[in-house]
């Protein structure tokens, strides 16, 4: 099946630093990628929709200046958590739509811990 690679899998950083998370579709083109946040034992909360070559669409309540999304190619989207604070600690997961159908494939997630 289709593979979505997400890196890094775990990040521990100091408060105030910025963290970049990469999401790559390895064997298919993804015109649309999605970024989610997941708190322990809770559902996936959509943060933003990332379209190749255009600005991301953010969900209500998600700060676009805080969570910078770049989708520069059909296989790569990045999420940068700027000036991270402890409340940003969470599990972040990306997903990608196959261009040929609407099936969604998920990355392996990034556990962010901000000290």
Partner 1 sequence: GENVEQHPSTLSVQEGDSAVIKCTYSDSASNYFPWYKQELGKRPQLIIDIRSNVGEKKDQRIAVTLNKTAKHFSLHITETQPEDSAVYFCAASTGNRDDKIIFGKGTRLHILP
* Binding positions for partner 1, rule: CB under 8 A: 31-32, 34, 41-44, 46, 49, 51, 93, 97-99, 101-109
Instruction: Rank residues 73 and 108 by Cβ distance to partner 1 and give the closer one.
Output: 108
Q: How far is CA 11 from CA 74, 81, 97, 112, in A?
A: 25, 11, 26, 5
> Quick one: tokens of 10?
């775990």
Instruction: Rank residues 87 and 102 by Cβ distance to partner 1 and give the closer one.
Output: 102
CB of 67 to partner 1, least distance (A): 16
Taking phi over 0 as left and psi of -120 to 50 as alpha, with beta for the rest, 75 belongs to alpha
CB of 82 to partner 1, least distance (A): 23
CB of 59 to partner 1, least distance (A): 8
């Amino acid at each position: 099946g289709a593979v979505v690679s997400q890196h890094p899998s775990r990040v521990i950083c100091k408060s105030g630093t910025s963290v970049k998370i990469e999401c790559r579709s390895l064997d298919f083109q993804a015109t649309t990628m999605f970024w989610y946040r997941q708190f322990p034992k809770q559902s996936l909360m959509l943060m933003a929709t990332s379209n190749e070559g255009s600005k991301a669409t953010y969900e209500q309540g998600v700060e676009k200046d805080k969570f910078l999304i770049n989708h520069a190619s059909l296989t790569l989207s990045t999420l940068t958590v700027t000036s991270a604070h402890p409340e940003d600690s969470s599990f972040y997961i990306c997903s990608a739509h196959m261009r040929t159908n609407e099936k969604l494939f998920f990355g392996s997630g990034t556990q962010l811990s901000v000290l």
